[in-house]
Structure 1
Amino acid sequence: MTTSNASTYRQSHDPSVTNTHARRTAEVEGAFVLPRISQNFRILDVGCGPGSITCGFARYVPQGSVTGIDLTEEVLSQARTKLSNLNPKPSNVTFELGNAADGLKYPDDSFDVVFTSQVLIHIPDAVKALKEMKRVCKPGGFVACREADLPFHWHPFLPGIQLWSKYFHSLIFGPTDSAYPMNPPYGPGHRAGVMVHFWARQAGFDPEKMERADEVQVWATKEDRKWFSEGLWGRIEKGGQGEKFRELGASEEDVDMMIKDLKAWADDVDGWHGQIQCQIICRV
C-alpha cells in the first residue's frame, strides 16, 4: 500500500481515540447490513479501526470470511489483539494494510459485501474510494456505507463545546473561524452523511439500485454522557488532540475550557448529544 493519503486521517490511532471506536458493533453500526448477508459471504471492512465491527461480522458468515483493512500497523495491531482475546476466536477474520483512496490490492469481484463506517468523511476524494469499493465487489453484491452528518447536535451547547466543535472541524477539514463551517475549503465534504448517495452515483452506482436510510444516534443517559465525554476530553489530554488544537490556534485557556465544559456537559442531567447517521446500500 502507498501512503499518500494516510495523513488524511488526522485523529490519530492512540487508544484514547480508538477505545471509542472499539465500542462500535456489527449489531449497531452494521445493523442495516446484517439482514442482507448470507453465511458464506466474503466481507471487506474498509477502515476497520480496532476491529470490533469486523469481528462482529464474523459471527454471521461462519462459512465465509471477513477482511478488515486500515492505514497503519498501529491500529491493525489493536484489531489483532481484539481478535486474539475473543473466546471463541473466529477463524475467518484477517486484518491487512489497505487504503481505498490509493487503490485496493484485491482483484475485481472479490467480495460479496464491502462495508465502511465513518471513513469517507476522512477521504478527500471519496468518489475515487467508492470506485475502488465497487470494483472489488462481486456482481450481485453490494457496497454499504454509514456516515455521520455533521454538525453534531448538543444540549447544552456550552462555550467549551462550541470551541471543541470549531477545532474538531478544523482538525478534520482545515482551519475555520466557524464552529459549523459551510464554505470552501470544506465544500460539501463535511456533510458526508447526506453526500454519500451523491458520491456513490458519481462513482458509477445505479441510483435505482440504492437503498437510503438514516437514524439518529443519541447519548443522553448518565452512563452514555460519561462515556462519550471521557472519550472526547481523553483525546485532548492523552491522545494528542490538545496539541493539534493548539497548532490550529487554540489557546491554553481554550483547551482548558473544552475539557471543563465536556465534563460539565456529562454531569448535566439535561445533557444530550445527537448524530444523524446516514446509511446506504449500493447494489452492484
Structure 2
Amino acid sequence: MTSTTAAPQAPSSTYTLGHSAFVLASHQQRTIHNSAAFLLPHLAPHFSLLDVGCGPGTITAGFADVLFRGTVTGIDLSQDAIDGAIAAQKQHQHQHQQQNRQNLTFEVGNVLDGLKYPDNSFDVVYTHQTLIHVPHPVKAIMELRRVLKPGGILATRECTNLQWWPLNPALELWGVAMQKMMESTGAVGLLNKGALQALVREAGFDRAKTLVGVGATVFGTKEERKWWSGVGVSRLREGGIGNKWRQSGFLTDAEIEQVIKALDEWGEAEDGWYVAVQSEILAWK
C-alpha cells in the first residue's frame, strides 16, 4: 500500500534545485524507459528496489509495475515531494480505474542521515540525478551499498555535461550557475570534473564488477524545445532558482535576463537541440 512516514529532523543534505512546481514539472517527464533503460535488462519480477531521491515518483512507479512480485520503495528528503508522489499514484489509480500498486511505498528519508533499513535489505538501489546534489557522495554511496544484498545492484544515472545548439554564451551561463549552486552546498555537481565510477569504487565497490556506460537526455523536437525552454524560464522567474543565483552572486540580474532571452530564442530555433550527457553505472556488491 502506498504510504508515507514523518520527515526527519534537520536533514544534513538539501536538494539544490528545490521542489517548486516548476522543478517538479521537469522531473515528472522521467520514466523507467527514458531514465532507467540501462537497468531494466537486469531486473527480475521478484526483486526489491530502493529509489533514492525519487522526487515525484514517476520512475519509481514504473519500477513497481516491472517488479510486480517484489517491492519498490521511493524515498526523498522532501515531505512535499513524497506527498506529491502519493497523490500522483492515487490520481493514476482513479484515472485508469486500477487498484493501488500494493508493492509501492513512498517515505521521507535522507541518505546522509543514515537510512532506517537493515543491512542487506534490497536487490537493487537506484539513483537518478541525486548524487550530483549530495554534499558527500562517497558517504552516500557507502550507505547505499550497506542496504544492498550481497550480489545486489547499485544503478545510478547522473548528469556529467550539458550542451546546447545553436551555441549561445548566455546558455553556457545556465550550466555555470547550476554548477556553482551545487558546489556551494558541498556537492560535486555536474560530473565533468570527476568520474562517477571512481566515486563508486571509493565507496567500496569492486571495479571489476562495475559496468560504466553513457546515456543522454535530449530535447530536439519543436514540442520538446517549447516545453523545456518554458520550464527553464519559469524556474528562473517564478521557481526560486533565479533568486538563489541572484542572492548568491552566481549571476547578475542582467545575466539572468540574458539567459531567459536565450532560452526563449532557443525554444524557437528550428535546429535547436539540448542534450544532458548521463553517466550510467551498474555496480554489483
By the TM > 0.5 criterion, same fold? yes
2:70 matched residue in structure 1: 64
Answer whether contact 1:189 1:195 (CA < 8 A) is retained.
no
2:5 matched residue in structure 1: none
2:60 matched residue in structure 1: 54
- Aligned pairs for 1:1-284 within 5 A: 1-7=8-14, 9-86=15-92, 87=96, 88=98, 89-150=100-161, 152-174=162-184, 190-191=190-191, 195-249=195-249, 250-284=251-285
Answer whether contact 1:45 1:66 (CA < 8 A) is retained.
yes
**Rounded Cα–Cα distance in structure 2 between residues aligned with 1:202 and 1:267:** 44
Identity over the aligned pairs, expressed in percent? 39
After the TM superposition, which segments of 4 or more aligned residues of structure 1 sit over 3 Å from their partners? 1-4
Q: Which residue identity lines up with residue 268 of structure 1 in the other structure?
A: A
**Rounded Cα–Cα distance in structure 1 between residues aligned with 2:189 and 2:253:** 30
CA shift, 1:173, in A, is 1.6
**Rounded Cα–Cα distance in structure 2 between residues aligned with 1:216 and 1:62:** 28
Gaps of 5+ in 1: 176-184
Residue-by-residue CA offset, 1:56-95 (whole Å, 9 max, x unaligned): 1011111111100000111111111111111323121111
Aligned alpha-carbon RMSD (Å): 1.9
Answer whether contact 2:179 2:189 (CA < 8 A) is retained.
no
2:4 matched residue in structure 1: none
Paired positions, count:
272
CA shift, 1:237, in A, is 1.4
**Rounded Cα–Cα distance in structure 1 between residues aligned with 2:184 and 2:75:** 26
TM-score relative to the length of structure 1:
0.90
Q: Which residue identity lines up with residue 168 of structure 1 in the other structure?
A: M
**Rounded Cα–Cα distance in structure 2 between residues aligned with 1:199 and 1:104:** 19
Answer whether contact 1:193 1:278 (CA < 8 A) is retained.
no
**Rounded Cα–Cα distance in structure 2 between residues aligned with 1:276 and 1:115:** 18
Gaps of 5+ in 2: 1-7
**Rounded Cα–Cα distance in structure 2 between residues aligned with 1:229 and 1:166:** 17
Residue-by-residue CA offset, 1:105-159 (whole Å, 9 max, x unaligned): 1000111100001100011211111111111011121110001103x11112324
